Each structure stands twice: as C-alpha cells, then as structure tokens.
C-alpha cells in the first residue's frame, strides 16, 4: 500500500519540477500555453506540496504496517509459548 503512495509522490514531484521549469522558459517558447510565470510557480508549489503529503502518508502507512506486523508476531509467539507451557 505504501509503495503506491511513494509512486504518487514521485510523480507529483516530477510534475512540480516540470512546472517550475516552465516558469523559467520565456513566453515566446510556449505558444498556446499559459505564459504567466506566477501561474506555473503556483502549480509547481501545489504539486510539490501534494507530493510531500503523499510521501508522508506513504511513510506513515508503512510504519503502521510494520507495527501491526510486529504486534501480530509477538501475539503468535506469546500464544505458542502459552500452549507449550500448558
């Protein structure tokens, strides 16, 4: 599950870098595209923030999966230990 969030974060950050690069290109090289540099910078900022949030969600879901897996393992060990002692 967390791998999907990592892929989404990487994709959003890539598009943010492309948008930031578009803000640096002069408007004569962008026929038919929005030539306003502040629009490109705003889109880049929004995409970057979305990518960072997606990466954070991926990290948190990975941590929770790890905690759940370890607690399940400790429950199995405790159950096995109780059955062996009875």
Q: SS3 string of 56-83?
A: HHHHHHHHHHHHHHHHHHHHHHHHHHHH
Q: What is the pLDDT along the chain (86 residues), one digit of tens a residue?
A: 778 999 999 999 999 999 999 888 877 776 767 667 788 899 999 999 999 999 999 999 999 999 999 999 999 999 988 887 65
Q: What is the pLDDT of residue 38?
A: 82
- Quote the pLDDT of residue 77: 92
Q: Cα(8)–Cα(2) distance, rounded to whole angstroms?
A: 10
pTM of the model: 0.77
* pLDDT the model gives residue 53: 97
pLDDT at 45: 96
Burial class of 9 by CB neighbour count within 10 A (0 to 12, 13 to 18, 19+): buried
- Looking up tokens 């994709």 gives 11
The domain locations on the chain are: 2-85
């Amino acid at each position: 599950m967390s791998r999907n969030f990592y892929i989404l974060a990487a994709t959003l950050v890539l598009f943010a870098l492309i948008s930031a690069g578009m803000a640096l290109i002069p408007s004569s090289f962008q026929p038919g595209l929005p030539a306003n540099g502040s629009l490109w910078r705003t889109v880049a900022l929004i995409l970057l923030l979305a990518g960072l949030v997606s990466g954070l969600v991926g990290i948190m879901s990975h941590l929770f999966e790890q905690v759940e897996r370890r607690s399940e393992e400790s429950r199995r060990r405790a159950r096995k230990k109780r059955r062996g002692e009875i």
